[in-house]
Amino acid sequence: MRVEEEEDNMVPQGNEADGEMVLDTASSQHQEEKLVIGYALTSKKKQSFLQPKLEVLARKKGISFVSIDQDKPLSDQGPFDVVLHKLLGNEWHDVIQDYQQKHPEVTVLDPPGSIQRIYNRQSMLQGLADLNLAECDGMICVPKQMVVLQDTTSSANEVAKAGLKFPLVAKPLLVDGTAKSHQLFLAYDCLSLAKLEPPLVLQEFVNHGGVLFKVFVVGDVIRVVRRYSLPNVSNVEKEKVAGVFQFPRVSSAAASVDKTDLDPRVAELPPKPLLEGLVRELRSRLGLRLFNIDMIREHGSQDVFYVIDINYFPGKFFTSFFWYGKMPDYEQVFIDFFLGLAQAKHEKGLCVKSGIDM
């Protein structure tokens, strides 16, 4: 796996200016071909993704975007080389799964079964603690967590049985695209659990110095940015504070972090070998190519990181890529990604014609 780094004499391991690092593990030199991308996105997603600059660059490279009509059979539309989608619901899930079976030659971004897994916070982080990243300059962990499906009033005993310690982060079990599914709460004691609405996931809060690392993945490109997060919870606070409190939207683009404001031990980005190893494993296990990982560094450690959330094709892809003035390039990243898909399809076709087994 090849890593291309932007020159930065201050940061020998890659560009960390303005709280970001970019790892490019794929060449942007692809054979230019006509590529038709059918897209099925919400109006909000379409507005954020199909920016004029992206469409202009795409046309220059022979890429066209075609809106999928959800009122017509998908197989009657196209033909498409790629189907890019982010719609929820069992009906659409069945439509895209049926289309994928009937048109294996079309690249679907991404398979609905793979997406479904990370829409459930119970299955989202399963298996991450077992990743073998021993030679990747760090350790990946997941917070202890449990699922509450119905009665939060009786969950206190279950919390004790599960070995979870307060305070606990409470998250809705299912991610359904609504603002409510992203609401987070911090519960300091057993009594406060009764105020929460199930189904939900309870996750141990890990002190992390008030900084969150958002890792954006587009195919073989990895981009990392810092965001402000919740401050550490002291032992005194644990003893004196009671109740449940709603999180602010601390990971938004407006909460971006300038590393000069932080302790260097807190501000340092996760090591590249660790990010590469983690993303490689997740791409393989999840079967996804467009996703985001939320990571934190355990306070007081240098190389112990926790994955706390994974999102599919999040809207913050775009605010992240053009928020920073030094790298307003999300459009080119996606163009290279789509051209890579075209190149891979072309090479696969040549191999099939010549009788070579891929």
- pLDDT score at 326: 35
Q: If you ran DSSP here, which 8-state letter would residue 230 be given?
A: P
| Residues of the chain where predicted confidence (pLDDT) is lower than 50 | 1-14, 17, 26-32, 251, 253-254, 322-328, 352-353
Q: Flag whether 120 is marked binding.
A: no
Q: Flag whether 206 is marked binding.
A: yes
Nearest Cα to 221, choosing from 24, 6, 5?
24
Q: Flag whether 197 is marked binding.
A: no
Cβ neighbours, 10 Å, residue 158: 16
For helices 330-354 and 52-60, angle between their N-to-C axes, nearest 10 degrees: 30
Q: If you ran DSSP here, which 8-state letter would residue 65 be given?
A: E
- pLDDT score at 5: 35
Q: Flag whether 210 is marked binding.
A: yes
Cβ neighbours, 10 Å, residue 329: 16
Q: Flag whether 207 is marked binding.
A: yes
- pLDDT score at 10: 27
Q: Flag whether 105 is marked binding.
A: no
* Cβ atoms of 247 and 184 closer than 8 Å: yes
**E-strand stretches of 253-326:** 290-297, 304-312
Q: Which domains, and CATH codes, for the chain?
A: 35-110+342-351 (3.40.50.11370), 121-312 (3.30.470.20)
- Measured CA to CA, the distance from residue 128 to residue 86 in angstroms comes to 24
Task: Give, rounded to a whole angstrom, the gap between the first and last alpha carbons of the chain.
Answer: 20
Sheet holding 185-187, edge to edge: 145-148, 200-204, 168-172, 185-187, 244-246
* Amino acid sitting at position 342: A
Nearest Cα to 283, choosing from 141, 80, 131?
131
- pLDDT score at 57: 94
- pLDDT score at 266: 84
- pLDDT score at 19: 54
Q: Please give the C-alpha separations between residue 299 and each of 24, 62, 76, 277, in angstroms, as whole numbers.
A: 29, 48, 54, 22
- Note the pTM of the prediction, 2 decimals: 0.84
Q: Flag whether 299 is marked binding.
A: no
- pLDDT score at 278: 94
Q: Counting beta carbons within 10 angstroms of the beta carbon of residue 261, is it exposed (0 to 12), middle (13 to 18) or buried (19 or more)?
A: exposed
Q: Flag whether 45 is marked binding.
A: yes
Q: Flag whether 204 is marked binding.
A: yes
Cβ neighbours, 10 Å, residue 24: 19
Q: Flag whether 300 is marked binding.
A: no
Q: Flag whether 292 is marked binding.
A: no
- Measured CA to CA, the distance from residue 233 to residue 124 in angstroms comes to 26
Token pair for 342: 């075209």
- Measured CA to CA, the distance from residue 168 to residue 114 in angstroms comes to 28
**Which residues does residue 107 pair with via DSSP β-bridges, in sequence order?**
82
Cβ neighbours, 10 Å, residue 342: 22
Q: Flag whether 184 is marked binding.
A: no
Q: Flag whether 117 is marked binding.
A: no
Q: Flag whether 209 is marked binding.
A: yes
* Cβ atoms of 117 and 124 closer than 8 Å: yes
User: 15-64, pLDDT tens digit by residue?
Assistant: 554 555 666 554 444 444 589 999 999 888 888 888 898 999 999 999 99
Nearest Cα to 208, choosing from 302, 131, 126, 145?
302
Token pair for 336: 């290279």
Residues in contact with 1: Cβ distance below 8 Å, sequence separation at least 6, in sequence order: 25, 276, 280
Three-class secondary structure of residue 87 per DSSP: coil
Entry field: residues in the chain: 358
Token pair for 206: 């890990």
- Measured CA to CA, the distance from residue 314 to residue 353 in angstroms comes to 38
Q: Flag whether 287 is marked binding.
A: no
Instruction: Characterise 355 by phi-psi region: left (phi > 0), alpha (psi -120 to 50), beta (else).
Output: left
- pLDDT score at 158: 87
Q: Flag whether 205 is marked binding.
A: yes
Q: Are strands 20-24 and 221-228 parallel, antiparallel or unpaired?
A: antiparallel
Q: Flag whether 86 is marked binding.
A: yes
